[in-house]
């Protein structure tokens, strides 16, 4: 405990070989470290925010809009090396969006980086649409994107809901997947949804939970998702937006280990809140269009695919038992537990582990 009282931030060094399956052990240090380009550790004079561990900001080299149905058109962008290892980034939600910072987990000299907004999300159109919007529509979209970009195989990177979609896609098209890099595992079982929306996480965040259930009359609180679905699909725009902001702020209030106003403000943005709330509620009302325990039962289909799993020890959105269970059914995966993090990709330990995982994946697939 004395280590925590120093003036230096506490950081984590991974001590196990990346290629060895299992849970990584970690060494605590009170000295600010970072990794140089050849993988050795050296002192850094000043420790900065998590962005210091990411690759430099880059702009897309190509953007396009791809019609994938009579209803939906997806926003797609590419950056990095056009001749590099293809990697596709799957954002969370469902209903979230890609952000410029998401390009920065990948070495732009080595990766061909593909980001896209899923149906109804971000810059894709129509915004917040529930029509023709299921897990299997999104899996089919990934194949349409891969074929449109003339990619044979690619690395799939997904966090939170993105990990769910990544697993569903890989299990449907294992021959197209070079490797998987997953964060904040969400297996989309009833118990996983119930943890967050039926009062279990409320025991950790009671104040935020009270704000979340405030729009719902007491008589309807036995089924929060059904009650919210009624409001999120209302013809009344004020009712719809009020419910969307309450839903999204509940999520934003609980994704980080330490309170982060910037994260809450992001989730409060009306455009983001509407797509996250409507599409998440739609999916969860329909059990994410998966049969019970499907992603675990089908792991034999992708057991051979190399993977990295990054999960925060104190993840209150997607508790860590989901990551442990996944790793137990995935012989070729390495689980990295971040001892000082919650669920958010913006947390320092998670960001560092994801960058390291992306670099390590290059060694495996090239």
pLDDT digits (tens, 9 = 90+) for 35-61: 333 333 333 322 233 455 899 999 999
Contact 68, 74 (CB under 8 A): yes
What's the pLDDT at 261? 93
Please tell me the distance from the alpha carbon of residue 54 to that of residue 119, in angstroms, as a whole number.
28
Per-residue pLDDT averaged across 120-130, rounded?
98
User: One of 117, 163, 343, 357 is an active-site residue; which one?
Assistant: 343
Q: How confident is the model at residue 18 (pLDDT cuts 50, 70, 90)?
A: very low
User: One of 192, 315, 340, 356 is an active-site residue; which one?
Assistant: 315
Contact 156, 177 (CB under 8 A): yes
Q: Is the pLDDT of residue 233 over 50?
A: yes
User: One of 160, 163, 288, 357 is an active-site residue; which one?
Assistant: 160
Q: How confident is the model at residue 199 (pLDDT cuts 50, 70, 90)?
A: confident
* Tokens describing residue 132: 């023709």
Q: Read off the pTM.
A: 0.87
Residue 52 a catalytic site member? no
Q: Is the pLDDT of residue 26 over 50?
A: no
What's the pLDDT at 25? 33
Please tell me the distance from the alpha carbon of residue 288 to that of residue 164, in angstroms, as a whole number.
9
For all residues of the chain together, what is the average pLDDT? 88
The H or E element containing residue 224 is: helix 224-232
Question: How far is residue 262 from each of residues 249, 346, 358, measured CA to CA in Å?
Answer: 12, 10, 26
Q: Is the pLDDT of residue 9 over 80?
A: no
What's the pLDDT at 298? 98
Contact 166, 157 (CB under 8 A): yes
What's the pLDDT at 51? 55
Q: Residue 82, exposed/middle/buried by CB under 10 A (0-12, 13-18, 19+)?
A: exposed
For Cα atoms 15, 102, 144, give the angle at the middle one, nearest 5 degrees: 115
φ, ψ at 65 (rounded to 5°) = -120, 125
Ordered structural domains, the chain, with CATH: 62-188+290-365 (3.40.50.1820), 191-288 (no CATH)
> Which one-letter DSSP state was computed for residue 84?
S
| Cis bond upstream, residue 94 (ω within 30) | yes
Which string of DSSP letters, residue by residue, matches 308-333?
EEEEETT-SSS-THHHHHHHHT-TTE
Residue 304 a catalytic site member? no
Please tell me the distance from the alpha carbon of residue 357 to that of residue 308, in angstroms, as a whole number.
6
Spell out the residues 6+ positions from residue 316 whose beta carbon is closer than 8 angstroms to its own. Answer: 196, 201, 204, 205, 254, 255, 342, 343
- Give which of 218, 212, 210 is closest to 251, Cα–Cα: 212
3-class DSSP state for residue 199?
Answer: coil
Query: How confident is the model over 344-360, as pLDDT tens digits?
Result: 999 999 999 999 999 99
Residue 315 a catalytic site member? yes
- β-strands 62-67, 73-80: how paired? antiparallel
Q: Is the pLDDT of residue 329 over 70?
A: yes
Long-range CB contact pairs, 248-252, < 8 A, 24+: 248/272, 248/273, 248/276, 248/277, 249/208, 249/211, 249/212, 249/273, 250/208, 250/209, 250/211, 250/212, 251/276, 251/317
* Tokens describing residue 338: 């971040």
- Give which of 209, 215, 197 is closest to 250, Cα–Cα: 209
What's the pLDDT at 53? 81
* Tokens describing residue 215: 């729009």
């Amino acid at each position: 405990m004395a280590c925590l009282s120093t003036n230096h931030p506490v950081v984590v060094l991974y001590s196990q070989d990346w290629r060895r399956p299992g849970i990584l052990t970690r060494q605590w240090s009170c000295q600010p470290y970072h990794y140089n380009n050849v993988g050795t550790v050296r002192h850094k004079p000043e420790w900065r925010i998590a962005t210091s561990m990411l690759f430099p900001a880059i702009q897309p080299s190509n953007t396009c809009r791809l019609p994938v149905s009579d209803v939906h058109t997806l926003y797609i962008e590419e950056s990095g090396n056009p001749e590099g290892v293809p990697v596709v980034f799957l954002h969370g939600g469902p209903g979230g969006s890609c952000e410029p910072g998401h390009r920065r987990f990948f070495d732009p000299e080595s990766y061909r980086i593909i980001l896209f907004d899923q149906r109804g999300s971000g810059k894709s159109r129509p915004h917040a649409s529930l029509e023709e919007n299921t897990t299997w529509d999104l899996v089919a979209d990934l194949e349409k994107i891969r074929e449109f970009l003339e990619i044979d195989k690619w690395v799939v990177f997904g966090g939170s809901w993105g990990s769910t979609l990544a697993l569903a896609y890989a299990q449907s098209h294992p021959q197209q997947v070079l490797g998987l890099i997953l964060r904040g595992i969400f297996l989309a079982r009833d118990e996983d949804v119930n943890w967050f929306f039926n009062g279990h996480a409320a025991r950790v965040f009671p104040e935020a939970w009270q704000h979340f259930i405030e729009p719902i009359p007491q008589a309807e609180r036995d089924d929060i998702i059904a009650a919210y679905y009624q409001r999120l699909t209302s013809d009344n725009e004020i009712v719809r937006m009020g419910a969307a902001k309450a839903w999204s702020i509940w999520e934003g209030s609980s994704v980080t280990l330490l309170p982060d106003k910037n994260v809450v403000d992001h989730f409060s943005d009306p455009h983001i809140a509407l797509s996250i709330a409507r599409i998440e509620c739609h999916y969860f009302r329909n059990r994410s269009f998966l049969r019970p325990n499907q992603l675990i039962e089908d792991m034999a289909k992708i057991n051979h695919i190399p993977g990295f799993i990054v999960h925060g020890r104190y993840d209150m959105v997607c508790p860590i038992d989901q990551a442990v269970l996944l790793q137990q059914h995935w012989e070729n995966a390495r689980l990295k537990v971040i001892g000082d993090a919650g669920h958010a990709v913006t947390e320092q330990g998670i960001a560092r582990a994801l960058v390291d995982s992306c670099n390590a994946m290059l060694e495996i697939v090239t």
